[in-house]
Amino acid sequence: MNRILRVGAAQSGPIQKEESRKAVVVRLLELMKEARANGCDLVVFTELALTTFFPRYFEKNRAQMDPWFESEMPNPTIQPLFDYARKHGIGFALGYAEKTTAGQHFNTSVLVDPSGDIVGKYRKVHLPGHFGYEPKRRWQHLEKRYFEPGDLGFPVWRTMNGIMGMCICNDRRWPETFRVMGLQGVELVMLGYNTPTLNSMKEDESAATRMHHNHLCMQSGAYQNACWVVGTAKAGNEDGFELMAGSCIVNPDGEIVALTQTTQDELITFDCDLDECAFLKQTTFDFAAHRRIEHYGRICSQTGAEPPAE
Ligand code: CDT
C-alpha cells in the first residue's frame, strides 16, 4: 500500500481583533478549497486559528476573555469547515481556544479525519509567557494567565494510513514533546504557531535568529524521531504586533521541503511519504536498540537545571 499523503500547511495572515469568527472561517475555507484543487489529503491550520492572538491582551477579570473561547467543537460558525472537509474527503488539524463544560480553558488542537470526524484532540502542554501584567515587556504574552497546561499528554493516532501526532507552538522548542510521540512511532507531527517576529525582552535578537530557532527545533524534532513535521504559522501584523511566518514541511531527514514566502494566507503542499520514516526508525534511531534509559532519569524526575556546586 502506498502511504503518500499530500499535506498542506495552511498559513494564516494576520487576524485583527475586530475580525469575526465567521469571516475567519471564510478565509480558512478558501485555503481548504485551494488545498482541494491541489489534491491535498490533509490540511494543517495554525494555533488559535479562529481569532487574533488574544493572549497579548491583559484583562484583570479573566472571565471577560471567555468570548475568545469555543465551548463546542464544531459549533455552527465552524461547521462549514467540517462540512467541506467531509464532502471532499480531506482531513485537517485546527487550533482553537477551548472552554470545557467544567469551565477549564485550554489551548487546543483537533485532528479531523476525511470523514469529518474528530479523531484526535491535543491540549498545549508547554505554555510560554507569564501570568500577571509585566511592564518591562514590550508586549504581553499571557498564555499562563488564560490557559491551563494540557492534561492529555502527547497522544498519537492511527488515521489516514499513518501514525499522527500534534503539538502546539512553544511545544516545538522542547525535545521531550517530539520524543514522547517518537516513542509511540509517530510518522507525522502537525503543529501551529503564533510567534512574535522579535523578542519582547531582548531588543538585539534579530528576526533571522528567531526564524532560525523556529526551524531548528522542528528540523531536529523531525530528524531525531524520524518523522515528518508540518509547522503552520499565523503571520503578519496583528494590531501593531508582528508575527513571524516561515511555515514549513520538514522531512524525516530534517530537511525543509516546502516553505511559505509571504506573511499572508498561503498554502504550501508536499507529498509526504510516510514510508520514508522507516529507514531512520530502523537504523540510527532504532530506539529499542540504542536508547539508554538508565541514564535518562533526570528527564522525568527534575524540572529545572541543577548545576554542580562551585
Ligand atoms: N504561541 C506561542 O507559544 N508562542 C511562543 C512565543 C513565546 S514568547 C513569550 C513560541 O514559543 O513561539
Q: Give pLDDT tens digits for 203-259.
A: 999 999 999 999 999 999 999 999 999 999 999 999 999 999 999 999 999 999 999
- Write down the pLDDT at residue 298: 97
The topology (CATH level 3) of 4-301 is Nitrilase/N-carbamoyl-D-aminoacid amidohydrolase (3.60.110)
In a mutational test of the pocket of ligand 1, which residue from 54, 131, 193, 214 has the highest number of ligand atoms less than 8 Å from its CB?
A: 193
Q: Which atom of ligand 1 is nearest to the CA of 195?
A: 12
Which residues, 6+ apart, have CB-to-CB distance to 6 below 8 Å?
38, 39, 40, 41, 42, 269, 270, 271, 272
Task: Provide φ and ψ at 277, rounded to 5°.
Answer: -75, -25
Which residues, 6+ apart, have CB-to-CB distance to 124 below 8 Å?
47, 106, 107, 108, 109, 143, 147, 149, 150, 167, 168, 169, 170, 171
The set of cell numbers assigned to 267 is 498554502
- Write down the pLDDT at residue 1: 83
Give 199 Cα–ligand 1 centroid separation in angstroms: 10
**193 close to ligand 1 (CB < 6 Angstrom):** yes
Cα–Cα distance between 115 and 101 in angstroms, integer? 26
Percent above pLDDT 70 for the chain: 100
Cα–Cα distance between 205 and 199 in angstroms, integer? 6
Instruction: Given the residues 40, 98, 124, 234, select the one marked as catalytic.
Output: 124
Domain boundaries, the chain: 4-301
Residues of the chain under the 50 pLDDT cut: none
Give 194 Cα–ligand 1 centroid separation in angstroms: 6
Nearest CA to ligand 1 atom 11: 170
Nearest CA to ligand 1 atom 3: 170
- Give me the residues paired with residue 164 across strands: 157, 188
- Write down the pLDDT at residue 267: 98
Peptide bond into 135 cis (omega under 30): no
Which residues, 6+ apart, have CB-to-CB distance to 140 below 8 Å?
55, 56, 57, 58, 129, 130, 133, 134, 200
Cα–Cα distance between 185 and 226 in angstroms, integer? 9
Give 225 Cα–ligand 1 centroid separation in angstroms: 23
Q: What is the CA radius of gyration of the chain?
A: 19
33 is catalytic: no
Q: Which atom of ligand 1 is nearest to the CA of 194?
A: 1
For residue 108, which of 74, 140, 62, 59 has the smallest C-alpha distance?
Answer: 74
Judge contact between 226 and 280, C-beta under 8 A: yes
Q: Which atom of ligand 1 is nearest to the CA of 173?
A: 11
**172 close to ligand 1 (CB < 6 Angstrom):** no
How far does CA 228 lie from the centroid of its chain? Answer: 13
pLDDT tens digit sequence for 76-101? 999 999 999 999 999 999 999 999 99
Give 3 Cα–ligand 1 centroid separation in angstroms: 33
Buried b (16+ CB within 10 A) or exposed e, 186-211: bbbbbbbbbbbbbbbeeeeeeeeebe
Give 170 Cα–ligand 1 centroid separation in angstroms: 5
In a mutational test of the pocket of ligand 1, which residue from 169, 197, 244 has the highest number of ligand atoms less than 8 Å from its CB?
A: 169
Alpha helix stretches (DSSP H) within the chain = 21-37, 79-88, 143-146, 175-182, 207-225, 278-282, 287-290, 297-301
Judge contact between 79 and 227, C-beta under 8 A: no
Cα–Cα distance between 128 and 151 in angstroms, integer? 16
pTM score, two decimals?
A: 0.98
19 is catalytic: no
